[in-house]
Structure 1
Amino acid sequence: MDSVTSTQAGTYRCYGGFNKNSSMWSHPSDPLQLMVRGTYDKPSLSSMSGTVLASGDNVKLQCFSSFKFDAFIFIKDDTPQFTQRQSSTAQDNGQQTTFHMDNVTSTQAGTYRCYGAFSKDPYDPSNPLQLVVRGEEAGPSPCPIQEMTLST
């Protein structure tokens, strides 16, 4: 398919024929969902608890899209092991879900995005949302450096 447009978006399956002249076809393949990026509005990600948090706070982050994605995937940039996936629910002419982060620490500060998804594959990401966590106890301060003069 060259120069794909939104008209080619949809679900595809392939079938195999036993020979050119056969009217017998194999069972269909698993479905392939073809999405065309930039065709739909991207999801939005917002914090219902603000973006500047105190250590120990609980945070609710809402992902919303006017497009009917099956699920949303919540990812911290540069930390692929921090990933949450939740089914979406119908809300206000679209789909949404709420992600929860309890008892936040400075390790959870950073940039997050949510992605709309069909089955298991993420689609377009939201704009980034930066979370700041303040108020954790700092570690010990380094000793001040003092000049020393050596006499010979």
Structure 2
Amino acid sequence: MDPQGITLKILSKPIIWAKPDFMIPKGTRVSILCQGTPEAVEYQLYFEGHLSAQRRPKQLGRRNIAMFHIPAMTPHTAGQYKCVYRRKKLWSEPSDPLDLVVTGNCPILGLNPGEGHIYLLISLSTATSTFFLLKEGRSSRPQHRYGNTQVEFPMGPVTTAHRGTYRCFGSYNNYAWSFPSEPVKLLVTDLAVWDHTAQNLLRMGLAFLVLVALMCLLAEDCLWRKRNQEKANGASSQECRRRFRTQRRLDK
């Protein structure tokens, strides 16, 4: 209520969205939908702050909706859209902005290994202004580098933190992007695990060699004892035969 006691009626802002999505491949049809109150009688669509189209609403069930169609998405139709509606002689507040993005082409993402470093190489057939690198599953913002048709993202000394799946895309401006690239999976071996495994294998190898050496020593000792026993048994037999022959001569 204003100071003079007159009630000012303000219409709520409409809802705006796009079908099939806000990211549209180049040349694809897209519809912009605007929903106001059930009493709305007219809708206006604004593109980049300028009036673009006007429509009468359609009643879809309990919803009062106006539909604006773009037959083929292009970089010229990509940008920020808003809509308003009229009820009697009153116009609503503008809707929240809808940013339509056109996509096209597909960059190539590859690995370029170096000495202890990895570079992710992105190339695109048409010139762009900015390249973005996304790591799946990360909540942080994507990395970006400025380039034309090719750019490298240095990963620095490689650690297990770099392990994951990456995608990239090129951005011509805020509303014109390329398609995402095919995913590239980066596998990083945990060197600490390998070192621990190597140490265990070395210990096992040394233990095996010690065991073999002990077995050889035991076998040699057994063989030596056996030979000594055989020599002792041979000497005893000869002594017995000598005594037997001596006894026979005495008896004669």
So what's the TM-score if we normalise by structure 1? Answer: 0.60
Q: Which residue of 1 aligns with 2:57?
A: 88
User: Structure 2: any 5+ residue segments left out of the alignment?
Assistant: 106-124, 129-147, 149-252
In structure 2, the residue matched to 1:60 is 31
The more displaced of 48-57 and 118-127 is 118-127
Task: String of CA shifts for 1:54-95, please: whole Å, max 9, x gaps.
Answer: 1101001111123411111011123x2x51000112234341
Q: Cα 1:119–1:66, aligned 2, differ >3 Å: closer, same or farther?
A: closer
On the 8 A contact 2:43/2:55 being kept in 1, the answer is yes
Q: CA deviation at 1:139?
A: 6.5
Number of aligned residues: 112
One-letter code of the match for 1:53?
I
Aligned pair in 2 of structure 1 residues 4, 44: CA closer, same or farther (>3 Å)?
A: farther
* Preserved contact between residue 73 and residue 122 of structure 1 (Cα < 8 Å): no
Higher relative contact order (CA 8 A, sep 6+): 1
Q: Is the 8 A contact 1:76 1:110 kept in 2?
A: yes
Q: Judging by fraction of residues, say which structure has more helix.
A: 2
Deviates more, 1:64-73 or 1:102-111: 64-73
Q: Does 2:20 align with 1:49?
A: yes
- TM-superposition CA deviations, 1:30-55 (whole Å, max 9, x none): xxxxxx33xx4311011111011111
* One-letter identity of the residue aligned with 1:135: G
- 1:116 is matched with 85
Q: Which amino acid aligns with 2:66?
A: T
Does the alignment pair 1:77 with 2:84?
no
1:104 to 73, 78, 94: 73
Amino acid in the other structure paired with 1:97 = A
What root-mean-square deviation, in Å, do the aligned CA atoms of Structure 1 and Structure 2 show?
A: 3.2
> Percent identity over the alignment?
21
Residue pair 2:29, 2:73 contacting (<8 A) in 1 also: yes
Residue ranges of structure 1 left out of the alignment (5+ in a row): 10-35, 143-152
For 1:118-137, list aligned pairs within 5 A: 118=87, 122-135=91-104
SS at match of 2:76: helix
4+ residue segments displaced more than 3 Å: 1-5, 118-122, 136-140
Shift in CA distance, 48/4, structure 1 to aligned 2, threshold 3 Å? farther
- The TM-score, its normalising length taken from structure 2, stands at 0.38
User: In the alignment, is the contact (CA less than 8 A) between 1:110 and 1:132 conserved in 2?
Assistant: yes
Query: Is contact 2:78-2:100 (8 Å) kept?
Result: yes
Paired letter, 2:69: H
**55-64 vs 86-95, greater mean Cα deviation:** 86-95
